[in-house]
Structure 1
Amino acid sequence: MSVLVTGGAGYIGSHMVWRLLDAGEKVVVIDRLSTGFDWAVPSEANLVVGDIGDPDTVGAVLREHAVQSVFHFAGSIVVPESVTDPLGYYLNNTVKSRALIEACVDAGVPHFIFSSTAAVYGTPETAETVSEDAALHPESPYGTSKLMTETMLRDAASAHPLTYACLRYFNVAGADPAGRTGQSTRDATHLIKVATQAALSKRPFMQVFGADYPTPDGTCIRDYIHVTDLVEAHYLALQHLRSGGDNLVANCGYGHGHSVLEVVDVVKRVSGSDFEVRMADRRAGDAVTIVANADRIRESLAWTPRYDDLEKIVTHALKWEEALSRRNT
């Protein structure tokens, strides 16, 4: 029996592959390598270069490898890009996810864990942390495309013997503490990735998009979660489903936030680099403040984060960025 990881050559997916291999699981990856890298997939895993929207490819993989569980990470993730290319996002994130779910139903795959997002909430109506029961008001096609997939999973599970978990990420950052993988995407837009690149002079400067938000320093506030803690939540979700647990929708965050400028200050302090920061206009689709209420995942899965510390997150991200520099020389 195997576990399929879609998008397993990408940032979060590659961390998931390592976590599964560390646990002794057999792993197969489907990735079209549009943003991922074949070298990011450990040799112990089987890599199939293909598109999750291709039912023939997916069906063959599910049957050949006797897949019993699927982690679905493949998709597009840049909020402003989704505003300018909504149909592309609905194709990649929603239409292709529908094809993947159908292939899993046809093959009798019992467990499905979906990489969702806090963008399904939009800007919360209160300043409190946002729980899973909060109103769902995505402010970008990205958020809507993910919410549509959650809905499809819910309805498919009602009609077929499929159990699922939808894990709503807040802001994922950092890298594998053992240095095996990290955020390697070309032209990445993640704040900590961009800031570490600026700290290492890979960028001449970095931009802060919007300094006039109704927050203490005028910049957006986000809940940053270490990627290793995130994939541990996924593995616990798999164990939950395997043991007969109910379907689960849960936030993945720490329950406290940091502003953009706070993050920049930490990157400067950890790196020792006083890189240039330029203020720019707001980006379309960005929520003001969004911080997780993570009580459900802590209670349902007994999830206990190990890296809830912004300096640790930045330190691991910076070490990976330095490793990438050596790799590319």
Structure 2
Amino acid sequence: MILVTGGLGFIGSHTVRALLDFGESCVLVQRRAGEAPADLAGGQVVIEQADITDLSTLLDVGARHEITGIVHLAYSMPWPPAAEQPVEQTRKALGGLLNVMQAAQDWGVRRVGVASTIGVYSGVTAEGPLREDMPLPLTAPHVIPTFKKIGEMLNDHLAGVTGIEVVNHRISGTWGPRDPHGAMFFAAPELVHAAVNGTEPDLSTLFGPAYAEDSIDLCYVKDTARAIALLQLADRLDHRTYNVGAGRATTNAEIIAAIKRVVPDARIELPTGGTGRQDHLDITRLQQDTGYKPEYDTERSVADYIAWLRAGNEY
């Protein structure tokens, strides 16, 4: 049975679906009570309400279920960041990660997959695809990559001293059904929402203006989830860190073109003037060790997401 922290969340719920499709059963650990999405109903899924920052309640889950693997997708960072009690927030964030590792050790779990982010590459100036063996700057521009870098170093240490196989998943820009973030780091989700709603996109939450040429390794959530499931279930992995993405850069212009094939009158134009830099993840390790291949190109991703929203789903 695979324990998935954050299993009712955006990437978590899709990862559970992927694990079920591979024949696994799952325990979903959530801090707040919740119901499984309709597409998980009838599957081999158990939902447990437990806070990963409370070690005793987390360990109790293992007393009720035989846990063979862990996929840790819940936040191990101060989120949302707040000015109040920053030291305590940091202690709880790192404590949650350490509790997951303690549980893995106590339960005799062989492999723990931990969500990291493409953001750890911030500051890398080398040309070409972003590779897992690239040296990373110690600094980071945001709390998420800051704590993911810290987490990766802790994971490497703990893997060495405990013998647990700890695998870092450097996840690219993921989007699709159940994405609650909107235009947090990139424009694509809001462009789709605006097209479906018949409005102009509100991109004011981005760090800067959005341009047609702006690009990111944009991976549809169903592909992200399948990659995570493959990394969890592979008989053998030759590395501790894997890029999880599409392996190519997608521009806003490509997203807009795909949207207009489905919604021709969408009011989603963006100005030109971007840098044209096309950073993307090298997913060679992932492909070689798991056989992963993205199934959702830009057009299929956009069409699937629009259909999801038009079916009455909120996001």
Moved over 4 A (4+): 76-79, 81-93, 276-279
Q: Which amino acid aligns with 1:267?
A: I
Distance 1:278 1:136, change over 3 A: same
- How far does the alpha carbon of each residue in 1:65-98 deviate from its partner, in whole angstroms, 9 at most, with x for none? 110100111127999x659899497466533212
TM-aligned CA deviation for residue 133 of structure 1 = 1.2
The equivalent residue for 1:24 is: 23
In 2: Cα distance, 1:78 partner to 1:320 partner: 31
- How far does the alpha carbon of each residue in 1:149-178 deviate from its partner, in whole angstroms, 9 at most, with x for none? 11111111111131122111111123xxxx
The equivalent residue for 2:99 is: 99
Task: Describe the SS at the equivalent of 2:294.
Answer: coil
Q: Which amino acid aligns with 1:191?
A: A
The equivalent residue for 1:178 is: none
Work out whether residues 10 and 40 of structure 1, in 8 Å CA contact, stay in contact via their aligned partners in 2.
Answer: no
TM-aligned CA deviation for residue 268 of structure 1 = 3.5
In 2: Cα distance, 1:316 partner to 1:94 partner: 36
Task: Describe the SS at the equivalent of 1:38.
Answer: coil
Work out whether residues 221 and 290 of structure 1, in 8 Å CA contact, stay in contact via their aligned partners in 2.
Answer: yes
Task: Describe the SS at the equivalent of 2:68.
Answer: strand
Aligned partner (choices 31, 34, 38) of residue 35 of structure 2: 38
Q: Which amino acid aligns with 1:315?
A: A
Is 1:192 the counterpart of 2:188 in the alignment? yes
Work out whether residues 76 and 96 of structure 2, in 8 Å CA contact, stay in contact via their aligned partners in 1.
Answer: no
Work out whether residues 199 and 267 of structure 2, in 8 Å CA contact, stay in contact via their aligned partners in 1.
Answer: no
TM-score by length of 2: 0.83
Structure 2: gaps of 5 or more residues: none
Work out whether residues 89 and 142 of structure 1, in 8 Å CA contact, stay in contact via their aligned partners in 2.
Answer: no
Matching of residues 281-296 of structure 1 within 5 Å: 290-296=279-285
Q: Which amino acid aligns with 2:2?
A: V
Distance 1:296 1:106, change over 3 A: same
- How far does the alpha carbon of each residue in 1:181-206 deviate from its partner, in whole angstroms, 9 at most, with x for none? x2252767363322222112286532
Matching of residues 49-64 of structure 1 within 5 Å: 49-64=49-64
Task: Describe the SS at the equivalent of 1:125.
Answer: coil
In 2: Cα distance, 1:185 partner to 1:262 partner: 22
Distance 1:23 1:302, change over 3 A: closer
In 2: Cα distance, 1:144 partner to 1:275 partner: 36
The equivalent residue for 1:179 is: none
Matching of residues 262-301 of structure 1 within 5 Å: 262-275=254-267, 290-301=279-290
Distance 1:185 1:49, change over 3 A: farther
Structure 1: gaps of 5 or more residues: 175-181, 283-287
- Aligned-pair identity (%): 23
TM-aligned CA deviation for residue 252 of structure 1 = 1.4
Work out whether residues 116 and 169 of structure 2, in 8 Å CA contact, stay in contact via their aligned partners in 1.
Answer: yes
- RMSD across aligned positions (CA): 3.3
Is 1:231 the counterpart of 2:225 in the alignment? yes
Q: Which amino acid aligns with 1:183?
A: R
Distance 1:299 1:201, change over 3 A: same
In 2: Cα distance, 1:295 partner to 1:106 partner: 33
Distance 1:270 1:218, change over 3 A: closer
